[in-house]
Amino acid sequence: MTNQEKPSLGPLPDYITSAKPNPLDKRAPWYATIAPTYAGIFLWFVFWQDAVRAPNAGGLLSQGLGWALLSIVIAALVCHFLFYLAPGMLGMKTGLPLYIVGTSTFGAKGGFILPGFLMGVLQFGWLGVNVYFSSMALGAFFGLEGGSAAVKLIMVVWGVAAAFIGLKGIQYVAKVATYLPLIPLVILIVLLAKTVGSVGDFSAAKLIDVSKEINPGVGAPLTTFGVLAFALTYIVGFFATAGAAGTDIASSGRDKNDVSMGGLIGIGLATIVTAGISALVVAGVYGNPEMTKQAIEAGMKISADQGGPSAILQSTALTPIILGKSAGLVMFLLAVAAFPSACFSSLIAANSFKTTLSSVNPFVSVGIGAAVSILLALTGWAGKAIIVFQIIGASFGPICGAMLVDYLINGRTWSGPRAGFNPAGWISWALGFIVGILPIVKIYDVPAAPVAAFIVGAVVYFLCAKAGMLSRLISLPAAEAAKK
């Protein structure tokens, strides 16, 4: 079946026929919509604080600062060009949300689950991560132990509050999100200003020795390729759902330039700035002999629930050494600035469930999801950020890969929904997910697993499409309008 095939009339679920495109007169320039939306995602401290923290001696800096920064740049470009651009263009051209546009790849019935329902479910994973790290940061401000009952109470309150505001709608989320995301940027600049003077004295070999001194059982230093693979795993895994959500985000764009510039600045530049500054801060600390001595002493005292010895590579964990008594206030501000992100995760989940589970009261569906998020935080599972990123990358890597190929073989337009469960989409997702999940279940250590999952999803979709494994197209006026 080819993209030239004439669509047939057929029944479509209500969630597809009732969708209305975002009109052109409601759209705005990239610098007012797409770029700030994505930049806010990367300013979340949970992303950039661990950009260097691989479970190996020296982490991302084990092959030097220059290669670490270049690896971050490569990962940022992969996010923009491979994971975001096609969904973004589809969103701009159709004005329709992801759960509608995805029906061309996964079918009118299949799109209900992928990417629609799955996007909502995974948001609760993000909410759990937010609840965990924000509560730990607040606990540090009040001088509380990470595993204390008081911190666990904060987790419960934080999760319930975020879910409630997310359920209330975008207007309430916007009220808490206007200026708060700027706080992490200011803090990053302050941390850089305090450490940049010793960046030139940084030595990867010395950092590797420090890692081994604090934790004799630490993994061997990453190879040159290993550093790049970790950057791709961490950054792309973090970004995968946001890449697919580019369909929704870029539906506010006016033209191709808005989609492109919004992604280059909001994704590419924001990634390089946040993760790059975090790497420079860590390098600056270990380029300073006195700060290095303090980091070693602090690393010896870090307990498992606080991240273990590898926390010496976490830029926020180094703030007491960099800023002294002001570190507590910094962690408090970072936690407060992270609250809008928690609300947005709840909002996206609520919108997804309202569409895919329309017969279920959203207070029930979102309430159950929020309870799971809080439980993940209370048990500490949500604190394993790298594993969470890997799961998300495995889930959405093949979705983005299949969507890219679907976009290209249809002449860079949206074909419209396909009937039932589109075999090409589901086969490509299943095989891509299996590849992406292998390192997590410890069967095989696939390098840069989220990117590998993307590649498998793209290649398999292309092969299936050429083999005629595409279900028939169903006529939808919005699809025809998008081709004009």
Phi/psi at 317 (nearest 5 deg)?
-65, -20
Q: List, for residues 200-230, the tens digit of each pLDDT value.
A: 999 999 999 999 988 888 899 999 999 999 9
Query: Cα dihedral sign for 438, 124, 78, 312?
Result: negative
Strand partners, 56: 219
Contacts of 142 by beta carbon, 8 Å cutoff, 6+ apart: 150
Residue 183 CB neighbours (<10 A): 18
Cβ-based neighbour number of residue 265 at 10 Å = 18
Task: Check whether 363 has a pLDDT greater than 90.
Answer: no
Give residue-wise pLDDT tens across range 424-446. 999 999 999 999 999 999 999 99
Domain residue limits, the chain? 22-482
> Quick one: tokens of 263?
């992604």
User: CB neighbours (10 Å) of residue 305?
Assistant: 14
Q: What's the pLDDT score for residue 304?
A: 47
User: Is the pTM above the cut of 0.85?
Assistant: yes
The answer to whether 125 touches 372, Cβ cutoff 8 Å, is no
Could you give the CA distance from residue 308 to residue 301 in angstroms, rounded to a whole number? 9
The crossing angle, in degrees rounded to 10, of helices 118-141 and 362-379 is 50
pLDDT digits (tens, 9 = 90+) for 245-274: 999 899 999 999 999 999 999 999 999 999
- Confidence category of residue 180, pLDDT binned at 50, 70, 90: confident
The predicted-structure confidence for 303-351, as pLDDT tens digits, reads as follows 444 555 567 899 999 999 999 999 999 999 999 999 888 887 887 888 7
Name which CATH class applies to 22-482. mainly alpha
Q: Looking at residue 394, what is its pLDDT?
A: 96
